[in-house]
Amino acid sequence: MPLYGIGGFCVELIPKYPTLMRQAEPYRVTEERPADFSVMPEESFLREQKGKYPEASPDMLEYVFTGSLFARAALRHEAIVLHASAVVLDGAAYLFSAASGTGKTTHTQMWLSHFGAERAFILNDDMPLIRRFPDGFRACGTPFAGSTGWSRNACVKLAGICFLERAAGNSIRRISAFEGVPLFLGQTPRARDAELLELQLATLDRLFREAPVYRMGCCMSPEAVLCAYEAMKGADA
C-alpha cells in the first residue's frame, strides 16, 4: 500500500489519475510504518459524485474528494484544513483565507514578489492543514492545492490567519472568536456528523485561543503585502 507523509501523518492512498498522482508524489514515503489513516474514496461514492457533477472529470473528482476525505480524517487528530493560500516567510506561515475569486492567490503571489524566493514560498495554495503539535499550531502543505497545485511538503510554525475581503484600500485588524469563528467555519469543509463536529469545534477552540486571527480589507496593490505583514509578524495569541 503506498504511504504518504502529509502534515506529519502517515496516510494511505492510491492515486489512480494524473492530478492526484502528481500532487501526491512529493509526499511519498518509502519506509514501512503503520498508517495513521487512509483516504481512499469508494468507487461507488465517486460514481455518485459524477452524477452530481457531470462536467467534472474522474481525475478532478478523485483529486477533490480525496482532499475532502483527508480534511475529515484530520479532524480526528487535532488538525483542520482551511480554504486558504498559505505563504511562508522567514520560517513562519501566514494563511490568507477567503471565498473563491477574492484574490488569495494574487495576494500571496505579491508576497513572493516583494520578499523574494530566498525568504518566501507558497506552502499550499488551497487547502493547507493546521495542526496542533506539542509546541503549538503549525501550518502544513498538503497535496490538495486547488487549481494552481502549488504545495510544498513542509510543516511550519503558524504566524496567523487572515480573512481577506476586497476593498478600495488596505486595512487589517485582529478579530475575536466572535467574529472569526463564523468566518473560519465558512471556509472549512463542514463536519456532517455529531462526533466530527465536536472534534472540529474542539480544535477550533484551541486554535482561537492560541493563534492570532485577522480580517483584512485589501486591494490588489503591493502595499497590501506590507499592510498584512506589519500587522501579523511576531504577534502572540
Partner 1 sequence: MKIRKGFTLRSVADTSVVVPLGGAAEKLNGFITLNNSGVMLWKLLSEGADEPALEQALLDRYDVTPVQAHEDVAEFIGKLRKANVFDE
Q: With respect to partner 1, which residue has the nearer C-beta, 90 or 205? A: 205
Three-state secondary structure readout of 119-140: CEEEEECCCCEEEEECCEEEEE
112: left (phi over 0), alpha (psi -120 to 50) or beta: alpha
Q: With respect to partner 1, which residue has the nearer C-beta, 129 or 213? A: 213
Residue 99 binds partner 1 (CB under 8 A)? no
Residue 236 binds partner 1 (CB under 8 A)? no
Closest CA to 218 of 152, 177, 145, 167: 167
Residue 51 binds partner 1 (CB under 8 A)? no
Q: With respect to partner 1, which residue has the nearer C-beta, 33 or 192? A: 192
Q: Which of 31, 34, 118, 176 binds partner 1 (CB under 8 A)?
A: 176
Residue 235 binds partner 1 (CB under 8 A)? no
Q: What 3-state class would DSSP assign to 71?
A: helix
Residue 52 binds partner 1 (CB under 8 A)? no
Residue 134 binds partner 1 (CB under 8 A)? no
Closest CA to 165 of 96, 219, 217: 217
Cell of 98: 477567503
Q: Which of 22, 173, 190, 233 binds partner 1 (CB under 8 A)?
A: 190
Residue 31 binds partner 1 (CB under 8 A)? no
Residue type, 206: R
Binding site for partner 1 (CB under 8 A): 176-179, 181-182, 185-186, 190, 192-194, 197, 201, 204-205, 208-209
